[in-house]
Structure 1
């Protein structure tokens, strides 16, 4: 993808109830207040046909094999990637609330092969910046609405936490900008740190793929 006048691709990841969605919303509003064109995408996008199947699974109203749900999560990203790419090419900054890294972390936590978990997302756009909001699973469990969805339990979240540590190591070795921030501090402090990182994103180079 040409770098000329393109927008940036920023991904915010985190354990469940880490404040990730709130920070995505605040970031979008702050960038808009600066006059930037911004689009926020939330994964899974539960409005699509595939997303509705995922939603039912997460709310435990349907059952699917671990392999099938992993592929559905990936397909949900693929069905929106052309729209994301088009937005970026037209100068829009795209903020993604979760991305392929969550897919790897959660599915591998269930025992699926690491490389197999990565393979369906190969070819997706490579973000300019990935921010992982770290919070201990025990602290997250004390936050409102915790436990309403399938993966919201401390044992699962601890496994996911370890997998994100591995993801950071692997992708940093591949020169992806993957930054972990302490999300247990105040909302304002976390936002300030996110803004500092986003302001430093270099859009002079073309986006590559995962």
Structure 2
């Protein structure tokens, strides 16, 4: 039976404004009277989420020292714990807004591999997350907030201390070269995956991020164009 609800995923580098957009979209859809559910991954309070936190804190080594097949599995296990809840929401007609999903596993961990191995890894992630292992539902839309690495890092530096790391930047955020590769992988996925949409959040005239409300209006336009509103 076809699920009654929809899943909308917001993706981007840390510091790209996706959490703010997640909140604004929740508020908007609630005002419109939609049945809304929300999820945010990873869940740092879960069993596997705590291992993700240790990975991001550098407890298991630097970002390129941990195999992508191991690091991505931690994130997938964390989502697996929410699979039943997600399916229940979906089958009961909820619009589910998710801050990071399996899509992040594809972008962040594939770039640890040589470029000619990345497409194969993305397919492995799809099988891992949606089919043989976690069996989480597939999303209907991914919106990627395309920022610039330096801007995203500066936004991270303004954040208050976070409970999953003892550092201002985690092992992903502190590696500019790695983040550039991740951003490029996100852009490639926007080209190859029909349900992915790129949304540029940097004003090229000023080098600054567009105001949150302006970005939000463009998010709403994307949802309308995709007949999700």
TM superposition score normalised by structure 1: 0.85
Taking the aligned partners of 1:47 and 1:199, their CA distance within structure 2 comes to 35
* Secondary structure in structure 2 of the residue aligned to 1:193: helix
User: Structure 1 78/202 Cα, relative in aligned 2: closer, same or farther at 3 Å?
Assistant: farther
SS at match of 1:151: coil
Superposition map of 1:29-178 within 5 A: 29-63=27-61, 65-66=66-67, 67-111=69-113, 113-114=117-118, 115-119=120-124, 120-123=128-131, 124-145=136-157, 148-152=169-173, 153-172=175-194, 177-178=195-196
Distance, in Å, in 2 between the alignment partners of 1:35 and 1:141 is 36
Larger mean CA deviation between 141-150 and 69-78 belongs to 141-150
1:183 corresponds to which residue? 201
Mapped to 1, the partners of 2:157 and 2:23 lie a distance apart of 19
2:82 aligns to what SS in structure 1? helix
1:16–1:157 contact (8 Å) kept in structure 2: no
Contact 2:9 2:141 (8 Å CA) reproduced: yes
Residue of structure 1 equivalent to 2:162: none
Once the two structures are TM-superposed, the CA of residue 35 in structure 1 deviates from its matched residue by: 1.5
1:84 deviation in Å? Answer: 0.8
Q: Could you list the runs of 5+ residues in structure 1 that have no partner in the other structure?
A: 204-210
Q: How many Å apart are 1:69 and its aligned residue? A: 1.4
Determine helix, strand or coil for the equivalent of 1:181.
strand
- How big is the shift at 1:202? 4.1
SS class of match (1:142): helix
Q: Say if 1:45 and 1:38 are closer, same or farther in 2 by CA, change over 3 A.
A: same
Q: Which secondary structure state, in structure 1, belongs to the residue aligned with residue 15 of structure 2? A: coil
Is the 2:42–2:49 Cα contact (8 Å) retained in structure 1?
Answer: yes
Deviation digits for residues 61-120 of structure 1, max 9, x if unmatched? Answer: 444832211111122222212211110111211011111121111112212642234312
Residues 133 and 183 of structure 1 are in contact (CA less than 8 Å); yes or no, is this contact kept in structure 2? yes
CA distance in 2, matches of 1:178, 1:116: 18
Q: Work out whether residues 132 and 181 of structure 1, in 8 Å CA contact, stay in contact via their aligned partners in 2.
A: yes
- Of the structure 1 ranges 157-166 and 193-202, higher mean CA displacement relative to structure 2 is found in 193-202
Residue in structure 2 matched with residue 8 of structure 1 by the alignment? 6
Relative contact order higher in (CA < 8 Å, ≥ 6 apart): 1
SS where residue 154 of structure 2 aligns? coil
